[in-house]
Amino acid sequence: MALLLLSLVLLFSPFAVSAPPDLKDHQEADRVRRLPGQPPVRFRQYAGYVTVDDRSGKALFYWFFEATHEAAEKPVLLWLNGGPGCSSIGYGQAQELGPFLVKKGIPELKFNNYSWNKEANLLFLESPVGVGFSYTNTSSDIPKLGDKITARDSYTFLVNWFKRFPQYSSHDFFISGESYAGHYVPELAELIFDENKKEGDGHYYINLRGFIIGNALLDDETDQNGMIDYAWDHAVISDGLYHSIKKHCNFSHVNQTEECEAAINGYYAVYDIIDMYSLYTPTCTSGGGSRSRRPIPGVAPKVLAKFGGWHRKPAGYDPCLDVYTEVYFNRPDVQEALHANVTGSISRPWSLCSDEINSWADAPSSILPIIRKLVHGGLRVWVYSGDTDGRIPVTATRYTLKKLGLKVVEEWVPWYHHQQVGGWFEIYDGLTFVTIRGAGHQVPTFAPARSRELIKHFLKNRKLPKEPY
């Protein structure tokens, strides 16, 4: 009876899709029993589609892992990769923080001893439509994509996912992500925050407690200035090129002079020969896959994203990991086990970053107003930064947080992982900033043990260790 009433209430929500008649059967239909090449595990996993728009045939693909122990007591943590247009399953799950990482040179999986589902029930979402296994049956949906539609579709997904898995609806809920998820995560959090305030029939309450974002794009002006300053300070660009950019470019504006554009091309030329996402790791020389992507007009940051050099796929310690990942998720038996592309609606191969998304309708130049609003609204907000990332470097994030204007409560304290310094942290009034020493853009890939320590302390709202242990 309670489930029937819940279904009737949700039916009138502007975001809702009618609940399935038998939740248990629907959950079991999404149950993943065993993936090809997967090591045995005891926790349950589910994958499949949640419809976010019946009329256009929009469906977002998810992969959910129960916590390794005490799942009924653990929070639910959503992970979003950015791009825009890159897969949270291909990066977050398979290369960073999920239970199953792809093996080198073999289309199989290995268990991640530092998986974040040791700390939370872990939910990965491929968003927006056109990314990974997510799709729409209406081709005109793709050119309309932007920050707002991405947030709204992700919210619709969450409402209907919690309807499918109501046993998790009362759990604390957190959002996490990296890179362009510096837009996705706060925008989704704001939408949930605002919807939670509404009263009356037709509104669904999500138990949002906070969010954490890494190497996050947050503010065009400070992010772009920080990228240039970081490149000079880390001996990537010459004094002459640095001073030319500083003289001719004003990152407070979208349109730039020809002199600025020539200097920016010189800046990106350096990242043709070294990895922007991790300055001190090798590049892939084995061939078999390209890290280039077509530019996506309209995305942030408005100046640097106009150049082809901005649109590269990230890579980890093994610079050829992208190749192994795409081979694995294009296996027909893998897709069958994941309940992916079950209707045959996707004719394209699965890829880490979508080639379908060729434009972006909206992207605010700064996410800081949203962060101020949510900090003042009482949400837990952490920002972290791997300090060898040149893409959205620690320098940029420090400039951005200073611009946020929050009072510093505890200034630049080292934190420890066992006997070694893991990085530094700074606590502001309502926000915590953490650096991870020696990590690139995808922090969990480069520092798996320390990233698990980071998420454990975030979820428990505890300071990182200030002494060796």
Q: Which positions are annotated as active-site residues?
A: 179, 389, 441
Determine the Cα–Cα distance for residues 98 and 114; give it in Å rounded to an integer. 8
Residue-wise DSSP of 175-193:
EEEETTHHHHHHHHHHHHH
The residue behind tokens 């892992």 is 65
From the list 86, 47, 252, the residue with the least C-alpha distance to 178 is 86
Residue 292 bridge partners (DSSP): 312
Residue 312 bridge partners (DSSP): 292
Long-range contacts of 375-381 (CB under 8 A, 24+ apart): 375/406, 375/430, 375/431, 376/430, 377/193, 379/189, 379/193, 379/208, 379/209, 379/210, 379/211, 380/174, 380/209, 380/210, 380/211, 380/458, 380/461, 381/210, 381/211, 381/212, 381/430, 381/431, 381/432
Task: Please name the amino acid found at residue 58.
Answer: K
Determine the Cα–Cα distance for residues 202 and 320; give it in Å rounded to an integer. 48
Q: Are strands 208-214 and 380-386 parallel, antiparallel or unpaired?
A: parallel
Q: Could you say which DSSP state residue 203 is in? A: -
Residue 46 bridge partners (DSSP): 31, 64
Instruction: Give the start-end residues of each E strand in 10-71.
Output: 45-53, 58-65
Phi-psi region of 130 (alpha: psi -120 to 50; beta: other; left: phi over 0): left
Contact criterion met (CB below 8 Å) for 222 and 365: no
The total number of residues shown for the chain amounts to: 469
Q: How many CB atoms lie within 10 A of CB 337?
A: 16
Render the burial of 235-273: b for 16+ CB within 10 Å, e for the rest. ebbeeebbebbeebbbbeeeebeeebeebbeebeebbee
Write the CB contacts of 423 (distance below 8 Å, at least 6 apart in sequence).
387, 414, 415, 434, 435, 436, 437, 450
From the list 431, 411, 435, 432, the residue with the least C-alpha distance to 421 is 435
